[in-house]
Amino acid sequence: MFARGLRNSMALVLHPRFPDPGMAFLQAENARDLQDVFAPNEEINAIEQGRHYGWPYCYDLATPSAEFKRVLQGGPLRGFCTDSALYKQPWSLLPPHGAPLGMLYYTADRLAELKGKLLVGLHGYRPTGSRLLAYEVDERGYPKVSPAPVRYHVSCAAEPTRAFQTAAGPAPAAAFDEIIAGWHRVNGIRPQGAPVGMTVADDGALWLVEDKNQTVIRIDRSSESVPEPLPCETRSDQLIERLAALVMDDAASRARLTTVRRDLVEKRCSGCHSDFGLKAGQSDTEKDKAMLRFLLAQDGWIYPGDPDSGRLRQRLRGLGSERQMPPGANLIKTEPGYAKLLDVADDLVARMVPGSRMRVKPGGPPHRKFFAADGRDCGDIPFGKVVVVTERFAVNKPGFSRFFRPADTHLNGACTDDNGYYIQQQFLVPL
């Protein structure tokens, strides 16, 4: 046995000069899975013979695993996670849930910008994954670690970068460049990518295998200009106008919109997020329209009919790891009527599109497939999710119901809104 305490060691690499003294032997660790999108971090470990690297007792740098706290409070493992004689901490943290599966040193001449760097492929489906990272390394092949704060990118987030953190606070880490950045799905344009393995050809080109779409990709130099990053949400201006009209033309929805704008946005969110499109001199109607268009244009803030999936609800209520807005206070607990105001915001989103709100039927597999009118597989939606059914008995697809576009997280990128989204009638039940 060479080393212990390592989890899911799919990515391993030896420096070209290993086993010369001091040369790097690295492992990129798929750390334990927790529900928090931003914890725990993955790891790069500097492997030394006979050392223990923490699993299953510790994660991040020195955080004890909850299920082993009693073991770590006494006996031979007492203080294990902070004892450098027993436990060797990670050399650097990697983005949380990134799922590193491939790692190599690029030593060819063809891609001069990468020569000598450590490349790490992140397979993970969460918003920190689907990337190819490049690290500057020292003369022994170890990534160069910088003091906190060091930031990593997050796809499809209101905050596109985050600083590495552990339970103890901001953490040092090796900074990196992204060779493939934010390979997220863009519905109707491209699927999400999931890098697995890499190799370098004799001509110096980098070859990459990814398993979400079963593709092999050759990375080489290009004379073309760098393309603009694609957004996660491809809601067109036409669809924004259509949704805005549905709200403005319905008295109940319009009343909810005015309440959210007047009592929430104008009162508590001025100066943030470009003032939500609000400008001096606008009438109340103009303010309502401007704020609504702004909300609909933001990546993933609102999914009509499904408030639970949108980041607007997450941020307003401080759910999960999203930073609560407005910041600085838990107004739900301290201000009478604030919880009811947030319910109005949820109702605005839930009832934005006319139709019958129905639930995806529980039971059986945890997801139900849905399709386009022509039968193409459009994705999977978890049972229990609420959708807005616009045609209970689909006109052009017998046995199916048509529903409004679901959250992007359920789409596989193969369909567009023009195709429509259909699910078998038997898989929908009333709320």
Segment 209-245, tens digit of pLDDT: 998 888 999 999 877 777 777 766 667 788 889 999 9
Half-sphere exposure of 252 (CA within 13 A, CB side): 9
Lowest mean pLDDT among 163-177, 183-197, 253-267: 183-197
For the sheet with 215-219, list strands across it.
Answer: 195-200, 206-210, 215-219
Tokens of 139: 């003369």
Which neighbouring-strand residues pair with 31?
none
Lowest mean pLDDT among 381-395, 400-414, 415-429: 400-414
pLDDT at 241: 92
Tokens of 7: 């989890």
pTM of the full structure: 0.68
Q: Which residue has the higher pLDDT, 4 or 267?
A: 4
Tokens of 141: 């092949």
Q: Give me the helices (H) in 123-178, please.
A: none
Which neighbouring-strand residues pair with 12?
27
Using alpha carbons only, give the angle 155, 157, 160 rounded to the nearest 5 degrees: 70
Strands (E), 264-408: 356-360, 367-371, 377-382, 386-391, 400-403
**Domain range list for the chain:** 11-219, 237-350, 356-430
410 falls in which pLDDT band (50, 70, 90)? confident
DSSP string, 380-419: EEETT-EEEEEESS-TTSTTEEEE----GGGB-SS--GGG
- The Cα–Cα gap between 42 and 34 comes to 12
Percent residues over pLDDT 70 in the chain: 96
Single-letter code of the amino acid located at 144: K
**CATH class as words, domain 356-430:** mainly beta
Average pLDDT of span 149-157:
87
Would you give the DSSP letter of residue 158? Answer: S
298 falls in which pLDDT band (50, 70, 90)? confident
Smallest CA-to-CA distance from 405 within 188, 126, 157 is with 188
CB count in 10 Å sphere of residue 212: 18
Q: In what helix (H) or strand (E) does residue 290 lie, and over which residues does it extend?
A: helix 284-297
- The Cα–Cα gap between 403 and 390 comes to 5
Q: Which residue has the higher pLDDT, 288 or 225?
A: 288
Q: Which residue has the higher pLDDT, 342 or 212?
A: 342
**Cα 97 from chain centroid?**
9
Half-sphere exposure of 332 (CA within 13 A, CB side): 11
10-27 residue pLDDT tens: 999 999 999 999 999 999
37 falls in which pLDDT band (50, 70, 90)? confident
- The Cα–Cα gap between 247 and 253 comes to 5
- The Cα–Cα gap between 383 and 31 comes to 28
- The Cα–Cα gap between 422 and 431 comes to 18
- The Cα–Cα gap between 238 and 121 comes to 37
pLDDT at 161: 87
pLDDT at 321: 57
- The Cα–Cα gap between 167 and 189 comes to 39
Single-letter code of the amino acid located at 325: M
3-class DSSP assignment, residue 41: coil
